[in-house]
Amino acid sequence: MIRAASLRGPRRLELDPVGLPPPRPDDVLVRVVACGVCATNLHDWAHPDRAMRGSELPGAHGHEVSGVVASVGEAVEGVAPGDRVCLDPGLACACGVCEPCLAGRPRSCRNRSTLPVWGFADAIVVPARGVVQIPAGLDLEVACLAEPLASAVHGIRHGWSAATDGRIEGLRVAVVGAGAMGLCAVLAARRLGAAEVIVVARHEHQARVAAALGADRVLDDDAGTGSVLRRLRPHLVVEAAGGNGSAFETACAAVEDGGEVVVLGLPDGHAALDVPRLVLRNVHAFFAAAYGVRDGRSDFSIALAILAETAAAAQLITHRFPLDDVGDAFRAAAWRTGGSLRVVVSGSYLPNV
């Protein structure tokens, strides 16, 4: 038996004893070292009646997972007990054989499944294809950031601006929103060739980390921000705030004519879209979700390489809680003015297992 967090009602998480299914021949058992609390988790926690599929399962759908392999099925190759890995949820839940999977788009798998237990738990069982080796030297806890960073890499790398070779060489990039996802977008834009990165941040701690991660300019999120951004004429604007949809409006208004808006944030409801004006300005838009493969290289592998090469990435983790205090972890992540960026829940990893 292990412990796993279960969602019992609005803002109510409880730890339950859960029996993991025995690993199948192609499965691995992973002891969880760290699992990040993301905006989707918080949405489900606050609104279980509108929760995304999978949130009713043990582990509260935690998917930003890093850990250590404890055992492997007899058919598994390339993964061994003791390996340090992170979870690629897209691959873990995809069949691997349908047309979208073979095209490198596991998010669109036609035969998607789910995990029996998700990451806010002591351990998970996952198909071996759903774990990715962590580079030597990369801290295990920091490696759980690979999932949100892979989403940011995907949004930039697979959009219109990077259509030629997956890079955005020489472009001026603005990132609206400086939570964990926005800051991951800063890292991704820098790695993929941006000439200049501008960030709109609401809080001082966000601005400080944005600068540490390579932002050239940080703007306060106030009434005049939109006009400042428009004067700067960014070629690519990444919307990473979600919320009430105002960040999306800001991004669409600020982008250069003929430029692109990449949407990484999830708004709480419908966001306004001035279609006639965007048409007349030839604005491109990419509503990005999850991660995939381009030119034979996965977004996850690029994210892990960025983390391994960026010591400042550790600053994204601001709060740590043991699994026993998973409810407190969610409350800390939801307290927007409390200085949190990414809150991490630690499992009970046992080095000798």
CATH number at residue 243: 3.40.50.720
Lowest mean pLDDT among 54-63, 139-148, 289-298: 54-63
Region of 268 please: left (phi>0), alpha (psi -120 to 50) or beta.
alpha
pLDDT at 19 (0 to 100): 92
CA max distance for the chain: 62
**Dihedrals φ, ψ of 248, to 5°?**
-65, -45
Q: Model confidence over 191-223: pLDDT tens digits?
A: 999 999 999 999 999 999 999 999 999 999 887
My answer on whether 229 and 311 are in the same domain is no
Q: Domain of 319: which CATH number?
A: 3.90.180.10
In a domain, 352, yes or no: no
pLDDT at 29 (0 to 100): 96
Q: What is the domain extent for residue 248? A: 159-287
* 3-state secondary structure (DSSP) of residue 64: strand
My answer on whether 263 and 298 are in the same domain is no
- 244 band by pLDDT with thresholds 50, 70 and 90: confident
My answer on whether 178 and 195 are in the same domain is yes
- Give me the mean pLDDT over the 276-287 stretch: 94
In a domain, 353, yes or no: no
In a domain, 262, yes or no: yes
My answer on whether 321 and 211 are in the same domain is no
Domain count, the chain: 2
pLDDT at 336 (0 to 100): 75
Q: Model confidence over 335-349: pLDDT tens digits?
A: 877 899 999 999 755
My answer on whether 63 and 43 are in the same domain is yes
In a domain, 232, yes or no: yes
pLDDT at 54 (0 to 100): 62
- C-beta of residue 128 within 8 angstroms of C-beta of residue 23: no
pLDDT above 70 covers a percentage of the chain that reads: 97
CB atoms closer than 10 angstroms to residue 285: 19
- Give me the mean pLDDT over the 255-279 stretch: 89
pLDDT at 337 (0 to 100): 76
pTM score: 0.94
My answer on whether 196 and 269 are in the same domain is yes
Cα of 228 vs its chain's centroid, Å: 28
pLDDT at 53 (0 to 100): 65
pLDDT at 350 (0 to 100): 45
My answer on whether 140 and 220 are in the same domain is no
Asked if residue 32 has pLDDT above 70, the reply is yes
pLDDT at 353 (0 to 100): 37
The amino acid sitting at 253 is: A
